[in-house]
């Protein structure tokens, strides 16, 4: 049971650290990309500054055993929100197509991006269940 928790934790920590570092390394592209997203300007502005520290905080919460459950809950909520957002792109819900901000996903179609995100969302849920039932 513990090894499963560690595996899920490690995978999600890698995801959040990657997302955080990718935004910092490509800060100009990240800010420009957020301005171009099909979300209201004030919301995009808040998210531009909120997401990187939130990603870092989530990874830190996951690393420490006494905050890991909170990290899994936060991971689940963030990934679910993003899955809903990606689902809008898949269904052509937006007037303009969202931009792909991560280097890893730049050449991935929205449908595959959605499946990857849903898999990560399920992993976060598995982490919650593993802790709850261990």
What CA–CA distances, in Å, run from 57 to 75, 77, 101?
10, 14, 20
pLDDT for residue 116: 92
**By C-alpha distance, which of 115, 109, 125 is closest to 8?**
125
Q: How many domains does the chain have?
A: 1
Higher pLDDT, 109 or 60: 60
Residue 9 belongs to what domain range? 2-132
Mean pLDDT of the chain: 89
Asked whether residue 25 carries a pLDDT value surpassing 70, the answer given is yes
Higher pLDDT, 78 or 108: 78
Confidence of residue 39 (pLDDT cuts 50, 70, 90): confident
pLDDT for residue 88: 87
Nearest-angstrom CA–CA distance, 8 and 121: 11
Nearest-angstrom CA–CA distance, 70 and 76: 10
pLDDT for residue 131: 96
């Amino acid at each position: 049971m513990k090894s499963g928790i560690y595996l899920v934790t490690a995978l999600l920590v890698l995801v959040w650290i990657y997302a955080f570092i990718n935004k910092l390394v490509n800060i100009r592209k990240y800010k420009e990309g957020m301005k171009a997203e099909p979300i209201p300007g004030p919301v995009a502005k808040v998210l531009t500054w909120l997401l990187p520290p939130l990603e870092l905080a989530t990874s830190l919460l996951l690393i420490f055993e006494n905050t890991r459950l909170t990290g899994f809950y936060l991971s689940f909520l963030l990934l679910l929100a993003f899955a809903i957002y990606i689902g809008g792109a898949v269904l052509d819900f937006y007037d303009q197509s969202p931009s792909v901000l991560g280097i890893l996903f730049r050449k991935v179609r929205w449908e595959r991006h959605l499946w990857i995100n849903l898999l990560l969302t399920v992993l976060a849920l598995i982490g919650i269940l593993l802790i709850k039932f261990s």
